[in-house]
Amino acid sequence: MIAPPDDCLARNEWICGAYLSTRRHILLDAVVQHLQLTSVSVLIGLAVAVPLAVLARRWGWAAGPVLGVTTILYTIPSLAMFSLLLPLYGLSATLVVAGLVLYSLTLLVRNILAGLRAVPEETRQAARGMGYGPIRLLLTVELPLALPAAMAGLRIATVSAVSLVTVGAIVGFGGLGNLIYAGMNTYFKAQVLTASVLCVLIAVAADLLLLGVQWLITPWIRAARA
């Protein structure tokens, strides 16, 4: 009778400390790529979503088309989205970022616009009566008051991006998704489980971080709750 191997890697166990110790550099590179793809795509999406939401708020007729187009983009399956963008960006990290930016627009534009619409009209009128111009009104009154709704959208968009980055493994730029995809193909249990758990931890950490940022930049809400 042949004794089972002592190495958990040789036994192909789901939980294996040897995998963490021998593949830590691979895991670190995958985590760094995952964070880069997520942060870049969300920041670009935010930079695009804010002007779109402001325009939709300023010109009511634009709200329908803006929300309609962004909603349609979100309904496109991820594999189909990457395939449609493939002729433009090729097999590159830019392809993944572009897809994630388009997906984030639905959540970001809708929530920022909802926050802007929730600003009381009497507040706007009071600011105009104090001599606030359109730009100053937007930057110092409307956007700060829209922060809670905007941050809620940002948190959801960030967590969604962490998840969708893994799909980028089909073009070789999926962060931890690369390890999950390769591990599933070879039935490498420790790799699949470790990479999946790290994805969950990144999503939870990102959400908590943004929640902390929201708490810091909205002192008036803290005061109202107190």
SS3 readout for the chain: CCCCCCCCCCCCCCCCHHHHHHCHHHHHHHHHHHHHHHHHHHHHHHHHHHHHHHHHHHCHHHHHHHHHHHHHHHHCCHHHHHHHHHHHHCCCHHHHHHHHHHHHHHHHHHHHHHHHHCCCHHHHHHHHHCCCCHHHHHHHHHHHHHHHHHHHHHHHHHHHHHHHHHHHHHHCCCCHHHHHHHHHHHCCHHHHHHHHHHHHHHHHHHHHHHHHHHHHHCHHHHHHHC
Q: What is the pLDDT of residues 155-210, one digit of tens each?
A: 999 999 999 999 888 888 888 989 998 888 888 888 889 899 999 999 999 999 99
Closest CA to 142 of 52, 57, 20: 57
The answer on pLDDT for 69 being more than 80 is yes
What pTM value is reported for the model? 0.85
C-alpha to C-alpha distance for 54 and 121, rounded to whole angstroms: 15
pLDDT at 1: 41
pLDDT of residue 84: 87
pLDDT of residue 168: 87
Convert 129-166 into a string of H (helix), E (strand) and C (coil): HCCCCHHHHHHHHHHHHHHHHHHHHHHHHHHHHHHHHH
Helices 143-165 & 93-117, crossing angle to 10 degrees? 150
Read off the pLDDT of each residue in 100-124 and give the average, rounded to a whole number: 87
Tokens of 147: 């922060």
Return the pLDDT at 174.
86
pLDDT band at 5 (very low <50, low <70, confident <90, very high): low
CATH number of the domain located at residue range(s) 24-216 in this protein: 1.10.3720.10
Average pLDDT value for the chain: 85
